[in-house]
Amino acid sequence: MAVETPVREPVSPPRATARGLLGSWDLLVLVALVLVVVVGTLTIDGVGNPRFYRFVVLEAIPIALIALPMTLIVITGEIDLSVASTVGLTCSVMGKLWQSGLTSLPALIAISLVLGAVLGAVNGLFVTVFGLPSLAVTIGTLALYRGLAYVVLGDKAVADYPVEWTRDMIAPIPGTVIPWFVLVVAALAVLFGVLLHATPIGRGLYAIGNNAEASAYSGIAVMRTKFWLFVATGVVAALAGVFWTFRFASARADNADGLELSVVAAVLLGGVSIFGGRGGLLGVVAAVALLGTLRNALQLADVPANALTIVTGTLLIASVVGPNVVRMARGRLRRRPPEERTQP
C-alpha cells in the first residue's frame, strides 16, 4: 500500500516591515551584532577604530555577494557548495588571460562573468535536467572547479596587475573609510531583496521550497527557476572572484579556499531554513556583518586561527538549531489561551 507523504503547510514570505521584524530571528541577529560591536569596542583595542570596520567590510564583501543568490537557492530547498571553487577558478582564468596578453579590464571582467554563468549552468543542468541532488552535485563541482583552477594556473601566483586597478577596487567612498565596492553589494542586495520579497517570482521561490511538486502543478516553472538561480549564483561568485583578485592583487588557484563555509554559515545564521521555504535577506545581511565583525574582533584579541574556525562551526550549528527553537516557542505561545499569555 502506498504511503502518503506528509506535506508541510505553506509558509508566507516574510514581510519587510518593522512589525514583521519584531520578535523574529532577524531581530536576534541584529541584537547580537550590536552586542558584539559594543562589547568589542569596550574590551578590545582597535575595534572602535574606523579602519577596523574598513577591514570588516573588505572581508565581508565576497561573502555578502555570494550569500545573496545563495539565500534564494536555499529557500528553494537546494544548495551550492561550489561557490568558493568558482571564485578560485575565476581568479586563475583571469591570471592566465593577463599572462597571455589580455590587458583590457572590461574584457577580463566580462569573460569572468561569462565563465561564472557557465559554471553555474553546469550545476543547474545536473540538478534540474538529470534530477541529481544539489548537495552531491556541488560537492563534486567544488572539487572539479578547484582542480581546474590548478590546471589553468598551477601553484603560482599572478601579481603584476596595474597598481591603479587594485587601488581603485578598494578605494574608499569620499569622506569615509568604507570601500566603494560596498555600493555594488548594496545595489545587488536591493535587487535580490525586491525580487524575493516583492514579486511573484519571490513568492514562487517560497512555494518551491515548501512543496516543489505542488508548485509545479500550480504552474510554477520549478526546474527552470532553479536552473537560473544556479546561473545567477555562478555569475555573482565570479564577480566575487574579480574583487578578490584585485583586492589582494594576486590571482591564485587557492583563492577563497573554504569560503563556502562562511557563506553557508551566514545564510543559515540569517534565519534561512536549510530545508527551504523560510527566510529572508535582511537576516542574512545582518549575519554577514555579525560574522565579519566577530572574526576580526577575535583576531585583534589574538585568538588563534583554529579557535576562529571553531567559532564559525559553532555558529553554523546554532544557525540551524536557533531559528527552529524560536519558531517552536512562538508557535506554543500562539496556541496558549489569551489569559495564560498575560500570566507571569
Q: What average pLDDT is seen over the chain?
A: 89
**Residue 24 carries which DSSP code?**
S
How many CB atoms sit inside 10 A of residue 165's CB?
13
Q: Please write the tens of the pLDDT for every residue from 85-107.
A: 999 999 999 999 999 999 999 99
Residue 209 CA to its chain's centroid (Å): 18
State mean pLDDT over 64-72.
98
C-alpha grid cell for residue 308?
Answer: 576562529
Q: What domains can be seen in the chain, in order of their start residue?
A: 47-320 (1.10.3470)
Cell match 506535506: residue? 7
CA dihedral 72, 76, 78, 84 (to 10 degrees): 0
pLDDT higher at 212 or 309: 212
User: How far is it, in rounded angstroms, from Cα 109 to Cα 2?
Assistant: 53
Instruction: Give dist(CA 16, CA 317) in Å, integer.
Output: 26
- 279, with CB counted inside 10 A (0-12, 13-18, 19+), is buried
C-alpha torsion angle, residues 177, 181, 185, 188 (rounded to 10): 140
Q: What is the pTM of this model?
A: 0.88
Tens digits of residue pLDDT in 208-238: 999 999 999 999 999 999 999 999 999 999 9
What pLDDT shows up at residue 42?
A: 94
pLDDT in tens, 222-278: 999 999 999 999 999 999 999 999 999 999 999 999 999 999 999 999 989 999 999
User: Residue 176 gets which letter from DSSP?
Assistant: S
Handedness of CA 35, 38, 40, 46 (dihedral sign): positive
Phi-psi region of 221 (alpha: psi -120 to 50; beta: other; left: phi over 0): beta
Task: Judge whether residue 80 has pLDDT over 80.
Answer: yes
- In the predicted model, what is the mean pLDDT of residues 174-182? 95
pLDDT computed for residue 18 by the predictor: 45
Other residues' Cβ atoms within 10 Å of the Cβ of residue 344: 2
Per-residue pLDDT at 14 exceeds 80: no
Closest CA to 232 of 196, 193, 192: 192
Q: What are phi and psi of 12, to 5 degrees?
A: -70, 145
